[in-house]
Chains A and B, each alone.
Chain A
């Protein structure tokens, strides 16, 4: 589904990604771990199409289609979703209205009519119940005054509403207490299916106890330095990132 080959990316001439190779197939969950500053969030942003990053070399494709020239919204229309580490606050636009705008923008891009209001309400009800989100929450302004946990839960709610082909969860576990983490992870697990894929970016192994990955990759200095199965995450937790750094040097 997602094919990344020898990807090099920079911001203002500062090299951040130095030759990433990654293949993600439908039905798979990949975890990307790594120390701070290793390029995890940059990789997420580059896949989602953030303009300030420049691709210097390599390629990035979804279902065989090159993504490089596509705007972030076009990538979203093709089914890419990024759950943000720091979601943006939008005063005056309710969660519900925001979701309606987003869903209908995607439908329009696919040549579909706006989703009928009753169908939209039903979908909102269904997905908010799944994530144990209070109805009152949906009429509040998007992310405004939300706690860290509420913001993250709201990101996964958006993911559930948009039903992406490829979801990238950037540090979704940060700022979550254990109960919220469980609810969010349950939500994500319900969205797992044979036709979609998930990339989980995390610093800690904790989230991976709930969202069990098929593959784990370790990012260091903008490169994947080690790949393995879920056991790799446990090993990392035990030995720390210094272990990877030392191995890389050797």
Chain B
């Protein structure tokens, strides 16, 4: 049985464990129909030209974990940003771990999607927001929607700021030979509210894991959202991340994606601007080696006047790794005075590494500023000479420059401890020996 058939038959089993009368189930039923019709995307589709899901479909994934698993915090501490106090929503093999989590209902809701999808007090919010910005025809998103049951639910009411950042961590124990996970997150940030979220998917063994995740984020007027994705997984873990963001007037949403590992990673990051005077920020650092593959597909849809978007993705590709950047910007006819910037710079450090980069601009308004630039290149010779002239050998100087190249993107990270952590990961990846004690 191939993966599609397995998923379709699993849906029947899935229905035994959910409330079929809940309005959300109608959404799920619609979604599974769409997936049944479309199936997994193939390389014939333009959006999937450079990323093949053929290998994944041959794996015999468990769709539901067979038993509940537990983990000791000390064994997995390193996957958390443990230097600061945070709320935590932690899942082990897709199942919520109350022992490792720290949720809250104190003024804000930082809790579980399973609660939000079943308990009456959330019904009103679910009716308004659930599956409202996520695509209803993109097949992998609808696959997730069909199985949507668990994940993080974050609701920040008007004028509220949570006391601390929130970490969403998905751990895979490897107790199953191959496991598929489909977390579903919903983040609602009301007027003039703020939130900082860090998300990580981590496999703990070399067993195969496939995660098909969907996150919907709603930023109301004057809301401020920082979302950090840390992707540094094992070489047997694949991630398809589908993130959909709806923004209203004067809101600012920044998404940083740090891609340092995993076998196959696909980031579908979609911003829909439904108001004026807002800013969407998309930043990424990708550093790959071995046969790793990362595909960033971004979309920024400017639908109203006077808005900005800033995209800056940097990539360093070694060994036989492959990267894709496809940045689509749509500026509707009424979206005058749009400022849309897009930058994608790449360095290939191996003859066998590949990057495919493509800006895709569809501009229907006439009074806009849109700039885009893609580069694929080597390091700046002048900079290399500068470091060598200070006595730093060429090999170390090269590593130091790559470090600087990637680090540039971290300026906008607003959690200093996270910034330091990412700095260290980058330094390790590139073999840079710079002391951090000073």
A residues near B, CB below 8 A?
A: 45, 48-52, 71-73, 75-77, 80-82, 84, 86-94, 96-98, 100-103, 105-106, 109, 139, 158, 162
Contact = CB atoms under 8 A, between A and B. Distances in A.
A54 B388 CA distance: 18
A88 B397 CA distance: 12
Nearest to B382: A88
B435 A100 contact: yes
Contacts of B438: 94, 96-97, 100, 139
Contacts of B388: 49, 71-73, 76
B396 interface: yes
Interface in B394-438: 394, 396-397, 400-401, 403-404, 406-408, 410-411, 423, 426, 433-436, 438
7 contacts: A49-B389, A72-B388, A75-B389, A76-B391, A77-B391, A97-B436, A109-B391
B392 A92 contact: no
B435 A97 contact: yes
A158 B385 contact: no
A51 B394 CA distance: 12
A162 B438 CA distance: 19
A88 B387 CA distance: 9
A50 B404 CA distance: 21
Contacts of B389: 48-49, 72-73, 75-76, 80-82, 84
A50 to B, nearest CB: 5
A106 B410 CA distance: 30
Contacts of B397: 73
Interface residues of B, number: 32
Contact of A90 (B382, B404, B435): B404
A120 to B, nearest CB: 9
Nearest 4 Cβ contacts at the A-B interface: A92-B407, A76-B391, A72-B388, A106-B391
A92 B404 contact: yes
- Give the interface centre of B387, B396, B403 by most chain A CB atoms within 10 Å: B387
B386 interface: yes
Nearest to B411: A91
B75 interface: no
A145 to B, nearest CB: 10
B381 interface: yes
A103 B435 CA distance: 13
Given A72-B389, A73-B388, A109-B391, A91 B408 contact: yes
A102 B383 contact: no
B390 interface: yes
Contact of A72 (B385, B407, B435): B385
Contacts of B408: 91-92
A66 B408 CA distance: 39
Interface in B372-389: 380-383, 385-389
Contact of A93 (B380, B394, B434): B434
A102 B387 CA distance: 8
B381 A52 contact: yes
Interface string B266-292: 000000000000000000000000000
A75 to B, nearest CB: 8
